[in-house]
């Protein structure tokens, strides 16, 4: 068993439970004799490059548990892809601190970063265990049935739609809700869990997995309003036209170092779609809300299942590293069978890095404007029980 210090960091967009994974890893490491110092790097690889480390052996268990239950990334986060020069610099830092266990919590961009660092370490013959710990509200990691962070964000989205559907029911008109999800529609699809009564919204759901047509959209809205007198729409921020160009790309021109256009933190897409509905259908009361960062950071609504699993993936990553697996990404797999049951499997980093998992065809209806019962069955146990909405008779 390799003996040395451990370094852990967080990367990418925060989630409600990313700190569970951090603390899950730290507490597992504390129980091991192979691991000496346990350090956290501030703001992902930026903090490694600047040697901004904090000592994670020092804080008491109660404090760590309170950090675990707190949303967002307690160590700070970063959106940065290491250049070859960065990698050279990173190794110098790891070497000088005798880091033999490295854990990076994040999405597919973060898995890629972990993969690059691991590959460089192999080339340099530096003995280090490199593990990616999964986190993404987008639920778009390959090899995973679902990812930590998704269940809680999905719970927020479902609850938001439950309230918003009732708001729309009270005052009428058309309501458009723009939900996070650049390439994968899982989070937007979770809006369907809000439905409890036959006429409940969202009545239409548009995902990045299907080409978005303004014509079809306006026609769908009009048809729904004709049928039930109102319409609630859930739209993924990543919806794109038949050529694959994001609808939002018409308004935004900010790009990060991973080549992603800014989609969140703006209401432009929702306002554009509301304008389209007004113009093409003549309906006057059309409103749009963009849920924004609340979906990933709102405290107090995390899914119990998600909370538990997020803690576990941190724990499992450390166990795998100590067992001498070398490198990998902890994936959540679902057992076959009717009851919800999962297990963890360490998969090669390159299998999770960079690429995006999409909604399978079986989760999307033929018209491309809704989800199927198969998706509801898939997502429900991850999101957990939702509060029941009361309704007066004849109302």
Catalytic residue among 86, 109, 138, 164: 138
| Pairing verdict, β 129-134 and 327-334 | parallel
| Angle of the 373-383 helix axis to the 150-171 helix axis, nearest 10 | 110
Does 57 bind a copy of itself (CB under 8 A)? Our answer is no
């047509």: which residue's tokens?
213
Would you call 4 helix, strand, or coil by DSSP? strand
Contacts of 57 (CB under 8 A, 6+ apart): 30, 37, 38
Which stretch in 163-171, 325-333, 340-348, 367-375 sits in contact with a copy of itself by CB under 8 A?
163-171
Q: Which of 296, 311, 315, 349 binds a copy of itself (CB under 8 A)?
A: 296
> Is residue 219 flagged as an active site residue?
no
Q: Which of 34, 301, 342, 376 binds a copy of itself (CB under 8 A)?
A: 301
Q: Please state the closest distance from residue 44 (CB atom) to a copy of itself, in A.
A: 10
Q: Which of 40, 82, 151, 314 binds a copy of itself (CB under 8 A)?
A: 40
Q: CA angle, corner 235, sides to 234 and 238, nearest 5?
A: 155
Smaller CB separation from a copy of itself, 336 or 388: 388
Does 392 bind a copy of itself (CB under 8 A)? Our answer is yes
Does 360 bind a copy of itself (CB under 8 A)? Our answer is no
Which stretch in 30-38, 123-131, 330-338, 382-390 sits in contact with a copy of itself by CB under 8 A?
382-390
Q: Please state the closest distance from residue 177 (CB atom) to a copy of itself, in A.
A: 9
H runs (alpha helix) in 138-286: 150-171, 186-189, 214-228, 268-281
Q: Please state the closest distance from residue 10 (CB atom) to a copy of itself, in A.
A: 8
Q: Which of 4, 71, 82, 151 binds a copy of itself (CB under 8 A)?
A: 71
Q: Please state the closest distance from residue 333 (CB atom) to a copy of itself, in A.
A: 29
Does 261 bind a copy of itself (CB under 8 A)? Our answer is no
Contact 180, 152 (CB under 8 A): no
Q: Which of 5, 110, 136, 264 binds a copy of itself (CB under 8 A)?
A: 264
Does 68 bind a copy of itself (CB under 8 A)? Our answer is yes
Q: Please state the closest distance from residue 167 (CB atom) to a copy of itself, in A.
A: 4
> Which of 210, 276, 201 lies closest to 239, judged by CA?
210
Q: How far apart are CA 17 and CA 30, in angstroms?
A: 20
Side-by-side strand order, sheet with 204-206? 204-206, 230-236, 173-179, 286-290
Smaller CB separation from a copy of itself, 128 or 269: 269
Q: Give, in order, the Cα–Cα distances in Å from 213 to each of 284, 289, 312.
A: 21, 20, 41
Does 393 bind a copy of itself (CB under 8 A)? Our answer is yes
Would you call 152 helix, strand, or coil by DSSP? helix
Does 97 bind a copy of itself (CB under 8 A)? Our answer is no
Does 311 bind a copy of itself (CB under 8 A)? Our answer is no
Does 67 bind a copy of itself (CB under 8 A)? Our answer is yes
Contact 233, 204 (CB under 8 A): yes
Does 314 bind a copy of itself (CB under 8 A)? Our answer is no
Contact 248, 263 (CB under 8 A): yes
Give the catalytic positions in this structure: 138
């Amino acid at each position: 068993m390799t003996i040395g210090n451990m370094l852990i960091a967080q990367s990418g967009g925060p989630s409600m439970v990313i700190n569970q994974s951090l603390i899950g890893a730290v507490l597992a490491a504390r129980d091991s004799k192979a691991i000496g110092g346990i350090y956290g790097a501030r703001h992902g690889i930026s903090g490694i490059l600047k040697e901004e480390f904090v000592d994670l052996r020092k804080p008491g268990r109660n404090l760590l548990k309170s950090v675990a239950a707190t949303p967002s990334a307690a160590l700070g986060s970063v959106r940065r892809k290491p250049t070859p020069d960065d990698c050279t610099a990173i190794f110098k830092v790891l070497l000088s601190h005798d880091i033999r266990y490295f854990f990076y919590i994040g999405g597919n961009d973060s898995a890629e970063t972990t993969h690059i660092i691991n590959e460089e370490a192999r080339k340099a013959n530096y003995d280090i265990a490199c593990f990616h710990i999964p986190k993404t509200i987008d639920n778009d990691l390959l090899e995973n049935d679902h990812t930590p962070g998704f269940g809680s964000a999905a719970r927020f989205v479902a609850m938001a739609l439950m309230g918003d559907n009732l708001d729309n029911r009270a005052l009428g008109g058309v309501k458009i809700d723009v939900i996070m999800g650049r390439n994968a529609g899982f989070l937007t699809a979770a809006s369907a869990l809000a439905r409890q009564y036959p006429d409940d919204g969202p009545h239409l759901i548009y995902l990045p997995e299907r080409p978005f047509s303004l014509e079809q959209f306006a026609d769908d809205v009009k048809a729904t309003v004709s049928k039930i007198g109102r319409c609630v729409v859930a739209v993924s921020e990543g919806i794109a036209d038949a050529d694959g160009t994001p609808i939002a790309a018409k308004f935004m021109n900010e790009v990060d170092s991973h080549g992603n256009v800014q989609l969140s933190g703006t209401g432009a897409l929702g306002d554009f779609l509301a304008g389209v509905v007004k113009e093409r259908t003549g309906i006057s009361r059309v409103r749009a809300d963009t849920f924004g960062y609340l979906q990933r950071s709102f405290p107090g609504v995390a899914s119990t299942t998600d909370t538990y699993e997020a803690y576990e993936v941190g724990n499992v990553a450390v166990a795998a590293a100590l067992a001498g697996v070398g490198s990998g990404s902890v994936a959540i797999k679902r057992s076959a069978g009717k009851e919800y049951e999962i297990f963890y499997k360490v998969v090669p980093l390159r299998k999770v890095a960079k690429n995006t998992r999409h909604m399978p065809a079986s989760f999307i209806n033929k018209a491309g404007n809704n989800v199927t019962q198969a998706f509801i069955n898939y997502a429900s146990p991850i999101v957990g029980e939702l509060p029941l909405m009361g309704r007066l008779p004849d109302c």
